[in-house]
């Protein structure tokens, strides 16, 4: 199985041994961040630093002035954590080490955008804004995401791209000093709390024949037992919200996400050289939100070249995609290999074999820059056994 590892530019730049170290793992590809959200990251082997703080979502290369001229929504350049063309510098070093470099592009996840342009944010049924989650139903947001996808994905020398958050984001978010775990929210409650009621989405619901005010009231009423602690976390969405409300909201949200994904992939392909690969981080459950956007497997594999599937908790999500994959489709099983982040690098060989038996064609390893030396040794061993 072809394998690839995720990296940030700051894992490579300033460390002359980084690219060779990654190549020695046995991976053939690096998915290198070109547009990324705010984060605080460990760099356990870097000769000049141990902690990198990316203060806001940014592109990790100089954004094109001409492309964004006249646009109110535009990508933010990085600060000191990724100065200049940090992506390009790292990509060159990795390519010189014999690695195929693909871009890693985070789209609908940007807290600074929400802070500076609050009207772009998702709004839940209670009227609370989610500044980290731009609403993908809004025309201005969609235009911004389309431009960002093209510019960040098709960097010089890149052989492909992996698009994260290409769909609805939602409530779940690793936020600074997060304090939202006081009430356990299962998938159904997460979905209900991720329904957007911004003006554009309210108009969208109205176009389907439902009063958005009444819909919001119905969502709040359905959530009340959750706050009281009387709803099991495993309750299905249809049981929590009712079949009619679930179907109506899913119809609007699925159509909105599909058309965005179709437009993004088409725009990237139009700007990219022949043979450029376009993958989406995706989950086969349509109502799931977040970095791995919920999709219909049959549809998305007719749009993109493949998917990157979250598998750290088990590889079962691979199978729905494999059932609709063609011989050319990529179904990449993504495993966390950082022990401190819940990964199990010691079981990577058996986990990868299980994923392959379910239809995975490739591996992705999150994250070569964050992992300890012991974790990387386990990865090297696993990949050598996989051949």
pTM: 0.97
- What is d(CA 254, CA 293) in angstroms, rounded to the nearest whole number? 11
Inside any domain, residue 190: no
**Does residue 178 have a pLDDT over 90?**
no
Q: How many independent structural domains does the chain possess?
A: 1
Q: Determine the Cα–Cα distance for residues 335 and 99; give it in Å rounded to an integer.
A: 20
- Give a yes or no: residue 247 inside a domain: no
Express each pLDDT in 100-155 by its tens digit: 999 999 999 999 999 999 999 999 999 999 999 999 999 999 999 999 999 999 99
Chain position carrying tokens 């409300």: 245
Q: Taking each helix axis from N to C terminus, what angle separates 199-207 and 212-227, rounded to the nearest 10 degrees?
A: 110
Domain assignment of residue 242, yes or no: no
Q: Of 201, 15, 20, 231, which Cα lies nearest the Cα of 120?
A: 201
Question: What tens digit of pLDDT does each residue of 89-104 get?
Answer: 999 999 999 999 999 9
Domain assignment present for 227 = no
Here the CATH number for the domain that contains residue 121 is 3.20.20.80
Percent of the chain clearing pLDDT 90 (strictly above): 96
Does residue 233 lie in a domain region? no
pLDDT tens across 16-45, in order?
999 999 999 999 999 999 999 999 999 999
Answer whether residue 241 is part of any domain.
no
Per residue in 293-305, pLDDT tens?
Answer: 999 999 999 999 9
Structural domain span for residue 55: 2-180+255-386
Decide if 59 contacts 75 (C-beta within 8 A): yes
Q: Does 150 reside within a domain?
A: yes
């Amino acid at each position: 199985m072809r394998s690839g590892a995720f990296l940030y530019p700051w894992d490579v730049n300033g460390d002359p041994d980084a690219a060779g170290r990654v190549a020695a793992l046995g991976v053939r590809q690096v998915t290198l961040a070109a547009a990324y959200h705010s984060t605080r990251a460990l760099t356990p082997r870097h000769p000049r630093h141990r902690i990198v703080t990316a203060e806001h979502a940014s592109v990790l290369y100089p954004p094109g002035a001409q492309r964004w001229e006249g646009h109110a929504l535009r990508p933010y350049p990085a600060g000191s954590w990724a100065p200049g063309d940090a992506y390009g510098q790292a990509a060159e070093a990795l390519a010189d080490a014999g690695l195929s470099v693909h871009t890693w592009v985070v789209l609908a996840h940007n807290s600074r955008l929400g802070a500076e342009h609050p009207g772009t944010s998702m709004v839940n049924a209670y009227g609370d804004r989610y500044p980290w989650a731009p609403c993908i139903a809004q025309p201005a947001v969609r235009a911004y995401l389309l431009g960002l996808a093209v510019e960040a994905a098709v960097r010089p020398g890149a052989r492909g791209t992996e698009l994260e958050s290409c769909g609805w984001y939602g409530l779940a978010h690793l936020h600074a000093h997060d304090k939202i775990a006081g009430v356990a929210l299962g998938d159904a409650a997460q979905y209900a709390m991720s329904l957007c009621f911004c003006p554009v989405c309210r108009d969208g619901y109205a176009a389907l024949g439902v009063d958005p005010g009444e819909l919001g009231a119905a969502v709040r009423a359905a959530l009340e037992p959750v706050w009281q602690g009387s709803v099991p976390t495993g309750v299905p969405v249809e049981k929590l919200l009712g079949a009619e409300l679930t179907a109506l909201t899913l119809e609007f949200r699925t159509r909105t996400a599909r058309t965005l994904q179709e437009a993004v992939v088409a725009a990237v392909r139009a700007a990219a050289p022949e043979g450029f690969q376009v993958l989406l981080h995706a989950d086969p459950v349509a109502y799931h939100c977040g970095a791995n956007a919920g999709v219909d497997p049959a549809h998305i594999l007719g749009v993109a070249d493949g998917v990157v599937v979250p598998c750290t908790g088990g590889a079962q999500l691979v199978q729905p995609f494999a059932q609709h994959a063609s011989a050319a489709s990529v179904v990449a099983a993504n495993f966390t290999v950082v022990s401190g982040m819940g990964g199990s690098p010691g079981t990577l060989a058996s986990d990868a074999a299980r994923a392959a038996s379910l239809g995975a064609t490739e591996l992705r390893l999150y994250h070569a820059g964050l992992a300890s030396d012991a974790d990387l040794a386990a990865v090297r061993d696993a990949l050598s056994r996989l051949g």
